[in-house]
Amino acid sequence: MSDTPLAPLQFRSAIAEPRAARWALIGIVVLGLGVLLFAPLIAVFAEALTRGWAAALASLGNRDARAAIKLTLTIAAISVPLNAAFGIAAAWFITKFDFRGKAFLITLIDLPFSVSPVVAGLCIVLMFGANSALGGWLVASGYPVVFALPGIVLATVFVTFPFVARELIPVMVEQGRAEEEAALTLGASGARTFLTVTLPNIRWALLYGVLLCNARAMGEFGAVAVVSGKIRGQTASIPITIEMLYNEYLSVAAFSLAALLAMLGLITLLLKTILELRHADQIAATYHH
């Protein structure tokens, strides 16, 4: 090596891939997502717009569609915070303490994914349906779970159960416990340690978990279909309404609602971008020490 000082450009390239590799990876990703994700998305929007914007928008203003949108937002507003709270607690318990049967516990948390949504719905009907002891009592007391909002929320929480916890666990494993231990040694309270040390470290994972959980909560069909009763304008969420409309040969209305659901995903992305910009300095700090 000559004795010229290292140029910044060369320094950066030491922890970055060669240009060619970088563009090859980007190319693979763009192609893969193009075929696997963008194409279906475009197909949905194309179907929605076959009769023009006006028809698509008009179908969203329909009474049943509005009720479905409200219901779906309500479902997400209840089930996502529940899952976030559970996820944080479970991740803390699993990564900050050593106990026997950890892999077993994590597997139990994963379990809802491996249960077919139809079976998930069936489980809830078996537990809370009018023909079970518990469900019979609840119905008799005037608080039915199945075919009402509580059952739909329960089904949604079930199918989205692992999201937040499973996002947080790998990150918190990666972080280790040293920082929290230091804070505690310095006299910080448990809550303060969590808020000022742990939370900033896991914020991205938490955000991704919530995003995934939210998307799935709004889009879930199989399990909700079993417990919803499919009453128009009452217990029909957006995915259920889409299926109904599709079966009525109202493809424009069905796909408009589907496109709307995809757009709701984009809104959560907008929130993420805003968060990213607000914390731009901190991100810069992690990237360029």
Site for another protein in 81-140 (CB under 8 A): 82, 85-86, 89-90, 92-94, 96-100, 102-120, 122-127, 129-132, 135, 139
- Residues 90/110, Cβ–Cβ less than 8 Å: no
Q: How far is the CB of 23 from another protein (least distance, A)?
A: 9
Measured CA to CA in angstroms, residue 239 lies from 145, 163, 176, 225, 262 at distances of 20, 20, 41, 9, 11
**φ/ψ of residue 228, rounded to 5:** -90, -30
The dihedral through the CA atoms of 97, 101, 102, 105 has a sign that is negative
Q: How far is the CB of 53 from another protein (least distance, A)?
A: 20
- Residues 171/202, Cβ–Cβ less than 8 Å: yes
Phi-psi region of 182 (alpha: psi -120 to 50; beta: other; left: phi over 0): alpha
Interacting positions 49-88 with another protein (CB under 8 A): 63, 67, 70-71, 74, 78, 82, 85-86
Give the C-alpha separation, 34 to 141, whole Å.
52
Q: Which of 49, 51, 177, 279 binds another protein (CB under 8 A)?
A: 177
Nearer to another protein, 60 or 194 (CB): 194
First to last CA, the chain: 25
Amino acid letter, residue 227? V
Q: How far is the CB of 168 from another protein (least distance, A)?
A: 9
Number of residues that bind another protein (CB under 8 A): 150
Q: How far is the CB of 136 from another protein (least distance, A)?
A: 8
Give the C-alpha separation, 108 to 105, whole Å.
5
Q: Which of 170, 199, 275, 278 binds another protein (CB under 8 A)?
A: 170
Q: How far is the CB of 54 from another protein (least distance, A)?
A: 19
Q: How far is the CB of 259 from another protein (least distance, A)?
A: 9
Nearer to another protein, 57 or 192 (CB): 192
Interacting positions 249-268 with another protein (CB under 8 A): 249, 254-255, 258, 261-262, 264-266, 268
Give the C-alpha separation, 258 to 252, whole Å.
10
Interacting positions 4-43 with another protein (CB under 8 A): 14-18, 22, 25-26, 28-30, 32-33, 35-41, 43
Give the C-alpha separation, 242 to 261, whole Å.
10
Interacting positions 203-242 with another protein (CB under 8 A): 204-205, 208-209, 211-212, 215-216, 218-222, 225-226, 229-234, 238-239, 242
Q: Which of 56, 65, 80, 146 binds another protein (CB under 8 A)?
A: 146
Amino acid letter, residue 277? L
Q: How far is the CB of 251 from another protein (least distance, A)?
A: 9
Q: How far is the CB of 100 from another protein (least distance, A)?
A: 6
Which residues lie closer than 8 Å to 105 by C-beta, 6 or more apart?
Answer: 94
- Residues 258/245, Cβ–Cβ less than 8 Å: no
Nearer to another protein, 55 or 243 (CB): 243
